[in-house]
C-alpha cells in the first residue's frame, strides 16, 4: 500500500468517526430533550389534567368524535392531541409520560423535517447544528414535555411550511441552478415547472393536521406567511400554486371529516368552538389572559435560550458577511416572515399565552443554526461575542437558582435545601458555573468550534440535571402526591375547598372523578383538600380531626367532621 493510499484510508476513517460522533450526539440530544423522564412530575397547570382527562374518556367511551370533559361535550380544542394521547393510553396505559408522548413525537417530527429543509437549502453543516440547537431551546424542551395542544399544532404547521417551501421552489435539488426568489423579477422556474406532487400532497395533509390541532388559525398563519412573501417578492403566481387541486383535496380529506361529523352530532359545536373559543378569545378579554402588546417579544427571546444571542447576526453581521447564494438568501427571508407573523398576529389578540408563539421557534432556530455556521467562517469575532454572552447566561442561571433555593425564604415549612439543596448544588449550580467559565475561556482564546460544542454539552448536562431533581419538587408543582395521600386515606369522601384551578383539575384526573366543592352544608365526616391559607376559614366551620398531609402550601389534606354542639350550661338558680 502506497503512502497516499494509507493517508486516504486514514482520512476516510477520520470522516467515518466524525460522522458517527455527530450521529451519536444528535441522537443523545433528541432523547435527552424530548423523551427522557417525560413522567418526572405529575400534571402541572390547568390544561394538562383536563386534556389528559378528555383523552382518557375517549378511550373509555370509545367515542373518538366528541371530546368530553367530566362527561360533557367540551369544544375548546379540536381532537388531534386527544387522539394521540388516547392512542398512547391504549398502548402504554394512562400516565403522565403517555399523555406527553404526542407532544414529544410531534417535536421530533418537526425537528427532522426542518433539518431536511436546512440540508436542502443551506447544506449538511447547518442541518447538523439545527438538529442540536432546536431541541435544546427552552421553548422546545418545555412544550415537548407538556400534555397540551401547542406542540402538536406547532409541529404540524412547521412540517406544512417545510412542504410549502419545497412546493415554492426554495429547496431544489442540491445540484440545480441558482434561483433568485426575492427579486421583483422572479418568475416560475424550471423546478416549479415540474409540479412537486408529493410536496403539494403533504402540504395539504399537514396543514389539515394543524387545523385538527388548533383550528383555523393554522390557515391564517400559513397563508399569511405566504401572502407577505408574495407581496414583497411579486411571487403571486407561485403562491397560488399552493392552492393546487391536489393540495386542496389533501387538506379537505384530512381536516373536514371530523368537523362535519362533530357538527352533525353536536348542534352547538360550531358556535362554541368558532365563536367562543376562537373569535371571542382573540377579540375580547373574556378568558382573562390579558397581557401588554409587547408581551410576546420577551417570550420568544426566552423560548430561544440559550442560543438567542446568535440572532443578532442578522442585525450586525449578515449585511457584509452573509450568504452569497440566492437560495439561502431567499430562504432566510421566508423564514423571517414565517417566524414574525405569529408574533405580530397574536400581539393583536386580547388573550395571550406563551404557547401562542411556539410556531415562531422552529424557523428562528434554523436562522440561529445558519448563523452558527456562517459567522464562524466569515466573522469569527461575532461567534466569540455570542459564545461569551451564552456563557454569561449559564452563570446567570446558576446565580438565579442559588438565590431561589438557598437565599429566598422557602415556600413551605419544609426547607427546600433539605429537599433538593445538595443535589441541586452538585448537579446544576457547579456545572453551570464551571461550564460557563470554560466557554468564556474558549471564546477569549478564539476556539470557536470547541466553544460551541462545549456550550452545547454544558447545556445538555444542565437539562439532564434539571430532569433528575424535578421529582423532588413534585409535591410543590403537582397535586399528584396529594391525590396519592387521599387514595391511601380513602377518597370516597374527598372534597376540595378553595383550591386553584390547576390543583382542582389535577385532583379530578388522579381521583378519576369530579371532586365536589366542600361547603358548610356537608354534615358528614370528610377529607378536604385546601390551601394552607384557607385552613383558618375552614376551622370556623368544622373540626379538623387529623392532618393527612401538610407538606405543601397549595394543597393541605385534612380529615374533618362537623363541629360538636357545645352543651348549654343550666341557668343559675335565684337565691331563696
Answer whether 99's CB lies under 8 Å from 149's CB. Answer: no
Closest residue by Cα to residue 127 from 318, 320, 328, 321? 328
State the pLDDT at residue 323. Answer: 58
State the pLDDT at residue 49. Answer: 96
How far is 488 from 273, CA to CA, in rounded Å?
39
Answer whether 164's CB lies under 8 Å from 234's CB. Answer: no
Judged by DSSP in three states, 173 sits in: coil
Q: 366-398: string of b/e by CB count within 10 Å (b at 16+)?
A: bbbbbbbbbbbebbeebbbbbbbbbbebbbebb
State the pLDDT at residue 102. Answer: 98
Whole-model pTM? 0.89
State the pLDDT at residue 100. Answer: 98
Relative orientation angle of helices 380-402 and 448-469, to the nearest 10 degrees: 20
pLDDT in tens, the chain (576 residues): 555 555 555 567 778 888 899 999 999 999 999 999 999 899 998 999 999 999 999 999 999 999 999 999 999 999 999 999 999 999 999 999 999 999 999 999 999 999 999 999 999 999 999 999 999 999 999 999 999 999 999 999 999 999 999 998 886 555 443 333 333 333 444 444 456 889 999 999 999 999 999 999 999 999 999 999 999 988 888 899 899 999 999 999 999 999 999 999 999 998 888 888 788 777 777 766 778 889 999 999 999 999 999 999 887 755 555 555 666 788 889 999 999 999 999 999 888 999 999 999 999 999 999 999 998 888 888 999 999 999 999 999 888 877 766 555 554 444 444 445 556 667 788 889 999 999 999 999 999 999 999 999 999 999 998 887 777 777 777 888 888 888 887 766 889 999 888 889 999 999 999 999 988 888 888 899 998 888 888 888 888 888 887 767 778 888 888 877 555 555 555 555
How far is 354 from 300, CA to CA, in rounded Å?
8
State the pLDDT at residue 379. Answer: 87
Q: How far does CA 489 lie from the centroid of its chain? A: 36
Going from N- to C-terminal start, the domains of the chain cover 1-31, 36-173+190-378, 389-469, 479-562
State the pLDDT at residue 573. Answer: 59
Number of alpha carbons in the 13 Å side-chain half-sphere of residue 234: 6
Amino acid at each position: 500500500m502506497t503512502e497516499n493510499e494509507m493517508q486516504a484510508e486514514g482520512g476516510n476513517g477520520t470522516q467515518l468517526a466524525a460522522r458517527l460522533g455527530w450521529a451519536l450526539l444528535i441522537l443523545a440530544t433528541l432523547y435527552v430533550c424530548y423523551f427522557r423522564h417525560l413522567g418526572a412530575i405529575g400534571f402541572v397547570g390547568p390544561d394538562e389534567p383536563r386534556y389528559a382527562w378528555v383523552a382518557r374518556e375517549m378511550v373509555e367511551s370509545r367515542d373518538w368524535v366528541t371530546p368530553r370533559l367530566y362527561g360533557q361535550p367540551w369544544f375548546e380544542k379540536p381532537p388531534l392531541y386527544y387522539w394521540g394521547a388516547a392512542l398512547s393510553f391504549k398502548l402504554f396505559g394512562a400516565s403522565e409520560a403517555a399523555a406527553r408522548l404526542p407532544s414529544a413525537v410531534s417535536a421530533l417530527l418537526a425537528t427532522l423535517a426542518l433539518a431536511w429543509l436546512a440540508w436542502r437549502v443551506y447544506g449538511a453543516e447547518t442541518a447538523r447544528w439545527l438538529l442540536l440547537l432546536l431541541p435544546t431551546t427552552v421553548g422546545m424542551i418545555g412544550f415537548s414535555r407538556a400534555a397540551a395542544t401547542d406542540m402538536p399544532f406547532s409541529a404540524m404547521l412547521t412540517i406544512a411550511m417545510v412542504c410549502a417551501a419545497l412546493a415554492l421552489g426554495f429547496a431544489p435539488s442540491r445540484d440545480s441552478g441558482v434561483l433568485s426568489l426575492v427579486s421583483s423579477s422572479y418568475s416560475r422556474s424550471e423546478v416549479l415547472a415540474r409540479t412537486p406532487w408529493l410536496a403539494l400532497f403533504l402540504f395539504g395533509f399537514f396543514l389539515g393536521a394543524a387545523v385538527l390541532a388548533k383550528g383555523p388559525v393554522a390557515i391564517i398563519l400559513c397563508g399569511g406567511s405566504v401572502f407577505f412573501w408574495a407581496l414583497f417578492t411579486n411571487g403571486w403566481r407561485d403562491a397560488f400554486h399552493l392552492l393546487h387541486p391536489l393540495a386542496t383535496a389533501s387538506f379537505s380529506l384530512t381536516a373536514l371529516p371530523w368537523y362535519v361529523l362533530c357538527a352533525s352530532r353536536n348542534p352547538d359545536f360550531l358556535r362554541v368552538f368558532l365563536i367562543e373559543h376562537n373569535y371571542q378569545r382573540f377579540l375580547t378579554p373574556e378568558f382573562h389572559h390579558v397581557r401588554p402588546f409587547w408581551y410576546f417579544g420577551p417570550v420568544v427571546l426566552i423560548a430561544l435560550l440559550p442560543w438567542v444571542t446568535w440572532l443578532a447576526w442578522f442585525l450586525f453581521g449578515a449585511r457584509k458577511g452573509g450568504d452569497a447564494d440566492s437560495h439561502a438568501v431567499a430562504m432566510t427571508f421566508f423564514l423571517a416572515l414565517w417566524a414574525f407573523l405569529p408574533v405580530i398576529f397574536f400581539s393583536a389578540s386580547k388573550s395571550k399565552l406563551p404557547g401562542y408563539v411556539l410556531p415562531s421557534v422552529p424557523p428562528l432556530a434554523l436562522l440561529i443554526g445558519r448563523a452558527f455556521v456562517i459567522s464562524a467562517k466569515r466573522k469569527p469575532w461575532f461567534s466569540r461575542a455570542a459564545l461569551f454572552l451564552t456563557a454569561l447566561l449559564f452563570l446567570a442561571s446558576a446565580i438565579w437558582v442559588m438565590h431561589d433555593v438557598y437565599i429566598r425564604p422557602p415556600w413551605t415549612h419544609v426547607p427546600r435545601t433539605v429537599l433538593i439543596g445538595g443535589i441541586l448544588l452538585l448537579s446544576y449550580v457547579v456545572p453551570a458555573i464551571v461550564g460557563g467559565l470554560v466557554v468564556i475561556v474558549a471564546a477569549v482564546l478564539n476556539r470557536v468550534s470547541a466553544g460551541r460544542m462545549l456550550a452545547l454539552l454544558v447545556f445538555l448536562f444542565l437539562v439532564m440535571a434539571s430532569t433528575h431533581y424535578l421529582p423532588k419538587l413534585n409535591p410543590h408543582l403537582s397535586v399528584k402526591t396529594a391525590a396519592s395521600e387521599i387514595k391511601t386515606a380513602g377518597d370516597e369522601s374527598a372534597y376540595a375547598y378553595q383550591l386553584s384551578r390547576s390543583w382542582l383539575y389535577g385532583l379530578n384526573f388522579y381521583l378519576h372523578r369530579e371532586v365536589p366543592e366542600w361547603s358548610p352544608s356537608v354534615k358528614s365526616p370528610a377529607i378536604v383538600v385546601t390551601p394552607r391559607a384557607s385552613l383558618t376559614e375552614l376551622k370556623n366551620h368544622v373540626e379538623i380531626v387529623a392532618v393527612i398531609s401538610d407538606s405543601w402550601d397549595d394543597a393541605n389534606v385534612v380529615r374533618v367532621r362537623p363541629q360538636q354542639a357545645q352543651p348549654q350550661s343550666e341557668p343559675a338558680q335565684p337565691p331563696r
